[in-house]
Amino acid sequence: MNNVYDEILKRDMTIIAGPCAVENEQMIFSISEKIKEGGGHVLRGGAFKMRTSVHDFQGLGKAGLMMLRAAADACELPIISEITDVRDLKLFCDTVDIIQIGTRNMYNYPLLKAVGETNRPVLIKRGMGATIEEYLKAVEYIEQGGNKKIILCERGVRGFDTATRNILDIGAISLLKQWGNYPVFADPSHAAGRADIVPALCYAAVAAGADGLCIEVHENSQEALSDGAQAVSVAMLKKIVNKSKKIKKV
């Protein structure tokens, strides 16, 4: 569990991939193997979902987290999952390799302080309306507790256009790289909100210097319980991984 962050620092590019949410045992076991085969390094899957509507699928909670862990163990992958509540911190420290702080919690300073006092790697997404300065100040809340295993992640900011869910801020990737303290990832799935342009955004992010990508993948996206429209297929994941590696080399 402990060397996942060092591996990210060593690797040219790290691929985090998996479904938006863990939906059931069968789906997460099935997709985890394919993610590994397809070039994924870390398996993602939400168990505690921060849905805009309370009427939408909220995730399977602790049971979902355990399914993610078991599926990843079966194919020897590390896992990342989003924490939404500071009261779940022990569960996350005991279960996940990387703790994800979602865009909606970038300003949740008590949560940031709490993960900062652990030694678990933390991927913190940029708030959807946060300036880069606000984002970096949020990162300091984690650092202050002593945790320096931090991964930054640009996931798109709000714009006026409804054709895409958000706007992937390519300039931010480049600026955060210049800042230089931590690996910079991009999440083109949540930026795009639609699968067709996810590959192009992945390539743009890598060209801008991203050290890793977070990509939502689903084997049957039409039936997905969350974020189906933005999920790419396993076949598409493979293409993205191959082409991104080539771009990274250039």
Both structure tokens of 137: 């100040």
CB 165: neighbour CB atoms within 10 A? 21
Burial of 10 (0-12, 13-18, 19+ CB in 10 A): exposed
CA dist 165 and 51 (Å) reads 14
CA dist 99 and 235 (Å) reads 27
Rank residues 105 and 118 by Cβ distance to ligand PEP and give the closer one.
105
Rank residues 39 and 228 by Cβ distance to Mn ion and give the closer one.
228
Q: Which stretch binds ligand PEP (CB under 6 A): 2-10, 64-72, 97-105, 136-144?
A: 97-105
The answer to whether the beta carbons of residues 147 and 117 sit under 8 Å apart is yes
The answer to whether the beta carbons of residues 47 and 59 sit under 8 Å apart is yes
Residue for token digits 């862990």?
Answer: 69
Which of ligand PEP, Mn ion, none does 50 bind, CB closer than 5 to 8 A by kind?
ligand PEP
Site string for Mn ion, 15-54 (x = CB under 5 A): -----x----------------------------------
Which of Mn ion, ligand PEP, none does 125 bind, CB closer than 5 to 8 A by kind?
ligand PEP
Rank residues 95 and 103 by Cβ distance to ligand PEP and give the closer one.
103
The single residue among 97, 154, 187, 227 that binds Mn ion, judged by CB under 5 A, is 227
229 secondary structure, DSSP code: G
DSSP state letters, 206-243: HHTT-SEEEEEB-SSGGG-SS-GGGPBPHHHHHHHHHH
Min separation Cβ 152 and Mn ion, Å: 18
Min separation Cβ 192 and ligand PEP, Å: 12
- Contact between 97 and Mn ion by CB under 5 A: the answer reads no
Strands 42-44 and 184-186: unpaired
What's the N-to-C CA distance of the chain in angstroms? Answer: 32
78 secondary structure, DSSP code: -
The single residue among 18, 38, 102, 188 that binds ligand PEP, judged by CB under 6 A, is 102
Q: Which stretch binds ligand PEP (CB under 6 A): 70-78, 98-106, 129-137, 234-242?
A: 98-106
Q: Which stretch binds Mn ion (CB under 5 A): 12-20, 65-73, 81-89, 149-157?
A: 12-20
Residue for token digits 């639609």?
Answer: 194
Which of Mn ion, ligand PEP, none does 151 bind, CB closer than 5 to 8 A by kind?
none
Rank residues 12 and 50 by Cβ distance to ligand PEP and give the closer one.
50
Q: Which stretch binds ligand PEP (CB under 6 A): 52-60, 99-107, 115-123, 194-202?
A: 99-107
